[in-house]
Amino acid sequence: MQRLAVPQGEFILANPSSSQPETLRPWDAADEYLLQHLFELGEPTGNLLVVNDRCGALAVALAQYEPTALSDSYTSQLATTSNLERNAIPAPRVKLLGSLDPMPSRIDYLLVKVPKTLALLEDQLLRLAPSVHPDTVVIAAGMTKHVHNSTLGLFEQILGTTTTSLAKKKARLIFVAPRERLAPLPLSKPTSYILEPGHLRVRSHPGVFSAERLDIGTSFFLDNLPDQAGQIRIIDLGCGNGVVGLVLALDNPDAEVTFIDESYLAMASAELTTQGNLDTTEQCEFIVGDSLSQLRNHQGIPDGSVDLVFTNPPFHDDHALSDATAWQMFTDAHRVLRSNGQLWVIGNRHLAYHAKLKRIFGNCDIIASNSKFVVFRSTRKPVPDQHKVDDFS
């Protein structure tokens, strides 16, 4: 835990997903810059909306104004709730919204942290634009290396005249003067592409990984999935648009396939993808969650009950490189797998996942590899008195 000192006060914050707290602080210089500027403007009045607040630093510092916090990330929402609790701030002070929740009808202060992808930023601004009025104070913030002309162009196109501040501690603010608008702008639509063989249509909301085309890593993973049979339980962990889980469901209609992702837009994409390719989605379940932690209390999926877990772990925490998510996914998979259950992982060669998997599972097999990617398989060692599953290799 670290202490954030800003004009609004001092706050104790932690990044629950970080295994490297010294490099992955729960705030950055852009948060500090934005809070300092907001303090200089005077007490905010009216409805305040914070967007893309990674660990809740802005929401915690501004909790006295009862802001709404919009995020596509379930883990960010968990971090916000945890950091409110650390500072003895009642959780109801901050209202949490996911990407597809109804937006506030009126926004008087709009504070935006610039996200990783332009597609997500565009989708968010289009959803928020009808609630912005000419007197809305709009301030965006980001590290200078993440604020590009294309970023400024989106604010200009969707909201109004856009200017920027001088850089401070490698951070920059974006100021927008909203213009009058007669009618809401059309929202971004999910993209789609055809996956061969099978002529499968993959659907993706803006900002979801591999939204425009199948990425080469997932393609390699699909080429090396195991043969399966029977009434088994499968998890597509970090499912994104759901293409891996869809192929697994099609290959084995008797399987129960659970799609899990921490992104609300990714989960909505996975639902669209499966609904468009399966006659029925009764065999499928969709869970927005923090890795597999939600399954502990989830009816029907207790620890030690899963046959197969498939994942392509992200190796970024927001803009920073991090292996924390991979560690959590691997350890969670070990917990939920039954004896002889298997975790299948696709990763870039340089990430060296085999070392982590051997530490957690005690074993790791290389199933396939090429110049860029490796497919790994780790098997949970037998546990006494648990049902033994078939070898799916």
Query: For 272-303, how does the pLDDT look when each residue is reduced to its tens digit (9 = 90+)?
Result: 999 999 999 999 999 998 888 767 655 567 88
CA distance 227 to 248: 9
Domains 2-178 and 191-379 share a fold: yes
Q: What is the mean pLDDT of residues 153-167?
A: 96
What is the band of 185 on the pLDDT scale with cuts at 50, 70, 90? confident
pLDDT at 322: 61
Q: What tens digit of pLDDT does each residue of 43-70 get?
A: 999 999 999 999 999 999 999 999 999 9
pLDDT value, residue 21: 45
C-alpha pair distances (Å), 338 with each of 27, 161, 303: 38, 57, 8
- As a whole number of angstroms, the distance between CA 142 and CA 52 comes to 11
The class that CATH gives domain 2-178 is alpha beta
**Do 326 and 374 meet the contact criterion of CB atoms below 8 Å apart?**
no
Q: What are phi and psi of 236, to 5 degrees?
A: -100, 100
Query: Tens of pLDDT along 75-102?
Result: 999 999 999 999 999 999 999 999 999 9
pLDDT score recorded for residue 324: 81
pLDDT band for 22, please (50, 70, 90 cuts): very low
Q: Tell whether the model's pLDDT for residue 234 goes beyond 70.
A: yes
The matching CATH number, chosen from 3.40.50.10320, 3.90.78.10, 3.40.50.150, 3.30.565.10, for 191-379 is 3.40.50.150
User: Measured between alpha carbons, how far is 176 from 161 in angstroms, rounded to an integer?
Assistant: 6
Portion of the chain with pLDDT greater than 90, in percent: 80
C-alpha dihedral sign at 275, 277, 283, 285: negative
Mean pLDDT of the chain: 91
DSSP-assigned letters across all residues of 262-307: SBHHHHHHHHHHHHTT-S--TTEEEEE-STTGGGGGSTT--TT-EE
Using the predicted structure, report yes or no on whether residue 236 has a pLDDT greater than 60: yes
How would residue 337 be classed by pLDDT, with cut points 50, 70 and 90? Answer: very high
Domain ranges of the chain: 2-178, 191-379
The yes-or-no verdict on residue 229 having pLDDT over 80 is no
Which pLDDT score is estimated for 131?
Answer: 95
CB 305 within 8 A of CB 338: yes
- Residue 48: per-residue pLDDT: 98
131: which 2 tokens?
Answer: 């609630």
- pLDDT score of 183 more than 80: no
Contacts of 151 (CB under 8 A, 6+ apart): 114, 118, 121, 142, 174
